[in-house]
């Protein structure tokens, strides 16, 4: 199929791009860099800003019109960068304009990556959070992603296109930003340093990035989507784990000689103690 991809230079986007190319899809990916990214063998790269897309160049890169938009461009994943204005400008306003233009140019299916952080405070009422749970986000990034999901509902209904929102929990793996837990933990382990961390009592579902990319690639050709509607699904392993257990397991896996300084850092204020998605759509929500 002819796939238009945003966010292909990112963590999840890079894995998804390679997955799409591996199964034979024609991928045109937009990027903001001056030069095309190194992995240009997996896609045709078109320089274009999400806020002011160059649709003439994008369409020229296709042998026909794009059929599916896989929208992975996002702002504010790093909490240090997540201000309200930019999160809503890029994740909602610019995304909405881009989706509507993509539909005018032939796209009939929009696949996006949300986040389980959209559920926010609602997680406290569920051992396993169903995808039908109304979002109660706790910050600008999560709020903007929840707003984008609602916007996609409106786009799908009014323009009669198919929509799919996949909400992964805590994603980790190769290519992740170095300041995130898994890569910073690995770096400390390999260098023989001690690793300061919080209490680690927070419960999460840690999802390998390959699993998320696989679900996004499959979303391009799924047969269970309907024009005019958006399907929302959680992505996870189904295995709740504390941050402490996750860190300890990987610390041992890497043969670290330093110490995990558990509890040496304060827990992040306002975060949910447990965030575990229900990943089997047909299963009943276990008692809370």
User: How confident is the model at residue 284, as a pLDDT?
Assistant: 37
CB-hemisphere CA count at 13 Å for 66?
A: 30
Kindly give, in sequence order, each residue whose CB lies less than 8 Å from that of residue 252, ignoring residues fewer than 6 positions away: none
Question: Side by side, which strands form the sheet with 68-71?
Answer: 44-47, 26-31, 2-6, 68-71, 109-113, 162-168, 230-235
Span 131-151, pLDDT tens digits: 999 999 999 999 999 999 999
The neighbouring-strand residues paired with 3 are 27, 68
Q: Specify the domain boundaries for CATH 3.40.50.720 within the chain.
A: 2-172+207-235
Contact between 114 and 149 under an 8 Å Cβ cutoff? The reply is: yes
Q: Specify the domain boundaries for CATH 3.90.25.10 within the chain.
A: 181-203+239-275
Residue 105 CB neighbour total at 10 angstroms: 15
Classify domain 2-172+207-235 at the CATH class level. Answer: alpha beta
User: How confident is the model at residue 38, as a pLDDT?
Assistant: 66
User: How confident is the model at residue 119, as a pLDDT?
Assistant: 98
- Alpha-carbon distance of 110 to 99, in angstroms, equals 8
Span 35-92, pLDDT tens digits: 567 655 788 999 998 889 999 999 999 988 999 999 999 998 988 888 999 999 999 9
What are the two backbone dihedrals, phi and then psi, of residue 118, each rounded to the nearest 5 degrees?
A: -60, -30
Span 219-278, pLDDT tens digits: 999 999 999 999 999 999 999 999 999 999 999 999 999 999 999 999 988 889 999 999
User: How confident is the model at residue 39, as a pLDDT?
Assistant: 56
Strands (E), the chain: 2-6, 26-31, 44-47, 68-71, 109-113, 162-168, 170-172, 195-197, 203-204, 206-208, 230-235, 241-242, 260-262, 274-275
Reduce the DSSP state of residue 165 to 3 states and report it. Answer: strand
Strands (E), 121-187: 162-168, 170-172
Residue 161 CB neighbour total at 10 angstroms: 24
Span 148-180, pLDDT tens digits: 999 999 999 999 999 999 999 999 999 999 999
- Alpha-carbon distance of 38 to 55, in angstroms, equals 23
User: How confident is the model at residue 37, as a pLDDT?
Assistant: 73
Contact between 119 and 65 under an 8 Å Cβ cutoff? The reply is: no
Classify domain 181-203+239-275 at the CATH superfamily level.
UDP-galactose 4-epimerase, domain 1 (3.90.25.10)
- Alpha-carbon distance of 245 to 163, in angstroms, equals 36
- Per the structure block, which two tokens stand in for 194? 């001690």
The neighbouring-strand residues paired with 30 are 46
Span 109-130, pLDDT tens digits: 999 999 999 999 999 999 999 9
């Amino acid at each position: 199929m002819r796939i238009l991809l945003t966010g292909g230079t990112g963590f999840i986007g890079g894995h998804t791009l390679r997955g799409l190319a591996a199964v034979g899809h024609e991928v045109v990916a937009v990027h903001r860099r001056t030069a095309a990214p190194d992995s240009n063998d997996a896609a045709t790269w078109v320089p274009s800003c999400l806020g002011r897309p160059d649709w003439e160049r994008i369409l020229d890169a296709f042998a026909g019109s794009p059929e599916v938009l896989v929208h992975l461009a996002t702002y504010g994943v790093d909490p240090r960068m997540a201000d309200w204005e930019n999160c809503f400008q890029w994740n909602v306003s610019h995304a909405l304009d881009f989706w509507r233009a993509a539909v005018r140019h032939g796209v009939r299916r929009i696949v996006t990556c949300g986040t389980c952080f959209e559920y926010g405070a609602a997680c406290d009422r569920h051992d396993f959070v169903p995808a039908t749970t109304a979002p109660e986000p706790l910050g600008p990034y999560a709020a903007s992603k929840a707003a984008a999901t609602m916007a996609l509902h409106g786009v799908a209904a009014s323009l009669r296109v198919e929509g799919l929102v996949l909400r992964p929990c805590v994603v980790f793996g190769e290519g992740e930003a170095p300041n995130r837990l898994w890569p910073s933990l690995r770096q400390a382990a390999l260098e023989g340093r001690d690793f300061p961390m919080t209490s680690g009592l927070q419960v999460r579902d840690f999802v390998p990035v390959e699993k998320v990319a696989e679900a996004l690639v499959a979303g391009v050709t799924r047969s269970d989507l309907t024009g005019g509607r958006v399907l929302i699904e959680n992505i996870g392993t189904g295995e709740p784990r504390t941050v402490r257990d996750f860190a300890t397991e990987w610390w041992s896996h890497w043969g670290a000689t330093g110490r995990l300084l558990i509890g040496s850092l304060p827990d992040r204020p306002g975060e949910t103690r447990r965030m575990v998605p229900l990943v089997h759509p047909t299963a009943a929500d276990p008692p809370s």
